[in-house]
Structure 1
């Protein structure tokens, strides 16, 4: 009988308490396979997520709106340390880059950039240099945000966003341009931008299609979700049997569809004033 050597051990992730919470922007290494850039439209600015600047804003928003994490793989954060770990998990993965979304206040859409306020986060994930693709994910958009979170009275709840505000269309549009525009146009010149969602999350799918993503199908039993999270199927008996199984709604935009029609469609959405 043959014998095989196999020394594999599951890696144990270790995170210092409040990792990088006090790290200045100049010292924070984003560790991303592509160049991190600040992205800006006339309504929204996307800044690479910086824990020292953004973690408290995000924690406050998620605690006020637990609905925001209903379909994602985390619970409602209770501490800054949990937010820092979430950011650090992405930072250690060269294919991921978290972004913070800053918006003109809804009552002053012509406000200067220095008056923009924290409106949420989104990320580039599943990025591949070799396969020339990336995905938009981890979308948390807060509203209303007429004042910065730090200026809001303690306990003031922020409501879950409607997927039709200027924030979502502008923020996603900026990432779509970043991913699919040619290098000459200031983009990365990738060939595919994709969007995945829990098949039960109808709002996410509708938002993607409104932005021009083409539904490509349902991938069955794609992800094991944490216990208690919405899932299409119960867990299989045995390991993690209390954790359900998520079917994943998949959509994408190819570079040729982007150049043919989707880029113009996204620009129209970003330019809307009503």
Structure 2
């Protein structure tokens, strides 16, 4: 059964390379904050600053109200950073956002991969495991959803490239979709749209968002096998 307006947590969401575990603030928050401060460039295209992200991740109320299922990504090929992540090193996060059991749809987001784990097997395997859980039939251990959404800053070539690698289809471009936070450490420079005079938020650039989806018929029509192939690659 679906729970708390979201979806049930899977028993096991892992393969031989990574493991996805529910993000538990008492276990993960301290190390996540430490890595966020060490690698602020992780938030280059994120519409929140890292302090806002941390507050949201740590807030059960936020996660419940926004219908999030948030996971910590553990890289099983690297030793644990601390005793709270004994299955591997904390590599980042990934989530189901805006879970909609009634419409059998979900957004795949909060894909934050820290730089030491970027351009490795981590992101592709995390996304692949989430897609398998979302789109596989219930008899295969999945939720049997009809639609998975992927939203990306239109300038974030890495995110768009990853979506296309899994055969997400672009449905459109949401113009002026978000207000970005004030420039933080220079990482937001050039990552938003220029504002007109007298804009109510002059220090916050705008963002166009590319909208991609992967549906059950895409999945059954070859995207499932493609995903397995993407996950099996070493890089």
TM-score, L = length of structure 1: 0.73
Which residue matches 2:33? 59
Whether 1:178 aligns to 2:133 is: yes
| Compared CA separation, residues 235 and 65, structure 1 to 2 (3 A) | farther
The structure in which a higher percent of residues are helix is 2
Q: Choose which of 33, 47, 54 in structure 2 pairs with 1:83.
A: 54
Q: Is the 8 A contact 2:47 2:178 kept in 1?
A: no
Tell me how far apart the structure 1 counterparts of residues 128 and 152 of structure 2 sit (CA, whole Å). 18
- Structure 1 residue 94, shift from structure 2 partner: 5.1
The offset of 1:97, in angstroms, is 1.3
Residues 69 and 87 (structure 1), Cα distance of their counterparts in 2 relative to 1, 3 Å cut: same
Conserved in 2, the CA contact under 8 Å of 1:95 and 1:126? yes
Q: 1:70 is matched with which residue?
A: 44
Number of residues paired by the alignment? 221
Task: Please give the per-residue CA displacement for 1:225-250, whole angstroms capped at 9, x wherever unaligned.
Answer: 22334312426735334322210011
Matching residue of 1:254: 215
Please tell me the root mean square deviation across aligned C-alpha atoms, in Å. 2.5
1:235 touches 1:244 (CA, 8 Å); kept in 2?
A: no
Question: Counterpart of 2:233?
Answer: 272
Q: Deviations over 1:76-104 (max 9, x none)?
A: 33xxx972443315423252111100112
State the alpha-carbon separation in 2 of the partners of residues 211 and 181 from structure 1.
15
Of 173, 185, 205, 1:244 maps to 205
In structure 1, C-alpha distance between the alignment counterparts of 2:110 and 2:56, rounded to whole Å: 15
Give the Cα separation in 1 of the matches to 2:64 and 2:197: 31
CA deviations on 1:117-139 (whole Å, 9 max, x unpaired) are 21111111122112211111111
Instruction: Return 5+ residue gaps in structure 2 as ranges.
Output: 80-84
Hey, what's the Cα distance between the residues in 2 that align with 1:65 and 1:45?
A: 22
Give 1:33's aligned residue.
6
Q: Is the 8 A contact 2:5 2:99 kept in 1?
A: no
Residue 204, structure 1, aligned to residue 159, structure 2 = yes
Larger radius of gyration between Structure 1 and Structure 2:
1
Kindly report structure 1 stretches of 4+ aligned residues shifted beyond 6 Å: none
TM-score, length-scaled by structure 2: 0.84
Residues 18-41 of structure 1: CA deviation (Å, up to 9, x unaligned): xxxxxxxxxxxx945211224111
1:112-123 map, 5 Å = 114-123=86-95
- 1:132 aligns with 104
